[in-house]
Amino acid sequence: MSMDYPFFGETEIENAAIDAAEIVVLPLCHEAGSSYGTGSGEGALHLLNASAQLERMDEETLTDWGLMKIHTARPLFPSDDPETAVAEMRAVAGSIMAQKRFLLSIGGDHAISIGPIMAAADMFSDLGVLQIDAHLDLRDEWNGSRYNHACVMRRVIEDAGLPVVQVGIRSFSPEEAVYVKSRHLTPFYAHEIVPWDDMWMEQVVSALPKMVYMTIDLDGLDPSVIPGTGTPEPGGLSYRQLVDLIKAVGREKEVVAGDINELVKIEGTQVSEFTAAKIATKIFVYCHGKT
């Protein structure tokens, strides 16, 4: 199929027709008010380009994710106005989920999560959000806006009224520390996650309601795994820890949608975008495929 934008798994699979799709990958090319490194606005396209190099077989389950009828939607370039951009992304995400497709949005900075999460909240009554992230993202306003990457979870909690479970946290402001205490939030801090004990994963799963939206800020992983992100923080999750968490949540909960965000291309290396694309296949296999 001739297209003017890349689609997921391009050299291995056809871009499924939207009417026949089980999974829709939605590229959200949005970046506004970056706090450090820039380039996440093109992150979705780099992830799609890298996905062309993936093999179709999942090595853990021997699942051929290429059989899952994946449709990559035309990339959305939202408004430069943050609040308008959120509304645009919410509308597009909602239209896809209304067709009962599994939606994986790819970004873009973390603000791309707000619209799809609110769209999911419109459809599912018992919904919670699993956030894998280095940062709490609980500021009420940052850089003149309430709708940017530093405020994502504040909007989710206060505007959408959803419970959140935050995993991998290791960077936050005094304002956010006060908010965590006042709201009695219990983030899973990175320094409390040890590699020799997976009990924390069971606690994460237990803290989530039946329906889950999964948002993965790639800086939640250690920069040795994904150096290509705007605000890398040392001491994050390993790739295997993230995959095992995706597996555990997918097994016990109904993941209705998700996103991968904050990918920034580093010239001369492909490791970050390829790893991000690989993570997408793990979501397909363990959250949609329910293997």
Residue-wise pLDDT for 157-205, tens only, equals: 999 999 999 999 999 999 999 999 999 999 999 999 988 899 999 999 9
Lowest mean pLDDT of 18-22, 31-35, 107-111, 155-159, name the range.
31-35
Q: What is the pLDDT of residues 89-134, one digit of tens each?
A: 999 999 999 999 999 999 989 999 999 999 999 999 899 999 999 9
pLDDT of residue 1 exceeding 60 = no
Query: What is the domain count for the chain?
Result: 1
How many other CB atoms are there within 10 angstroms of residue 133's CB atom?
A: 31
> What integer pLDDT is reported at residue 2 of this predicted model?
46
CA dist., res. 241 & res. 236, Å (int): 10
Q: Decide if 263 contacts 223 (C-beta within 8 A).
A: no
Q: Per the domain annotation, does 8 fall within a domain?
A: no
The percent of the chain in helix, strand and coil, each rounded to the nearest 5, is: 40, 20, 40
Q: Report if residue 46 sits inside a domain.
A: yes
pTM score: 0.95
Task: Assess if residue 7 is contained within a domain.
Answer: no
Residue 241 domain-assigned (yes or no): yes
**Where residue 67 sits, what CATH number does that domain have?**
3.40.800.10
* Average confidence (pLDDT) over 39-45: 88
How many other C-beta atoms lie within 10 A of the C-beta of residue 72?
27
Greater confidence (108 vs 270) lies with 270
Average pLDDT of the residues of the chain: 94
DSSP string for 166-187: EEEE-B--HHHHHHHHHTT---
Beta-bridge partner residues of 189: 169
pLDDT at 289: 66
Domain annotation covers residue 13: no
Cβ within 8 Å of residue 268, ≥6 positions away: none
Q: Which domain holds residue 45?
A: 18-288
Residue 32 is assigned to a structural domain of this protein:
yes
What number is the average pLDDT over the span 61-69? 96
Q: Residue 262 domain-assigned? A: yes
Angle between helices 114-123 and 82-97 (to 10 degrees): 40
Q: Phi/psi of residue 180, each to 5°?
A: -55, -45
In a domain, 173, yes or no: yes
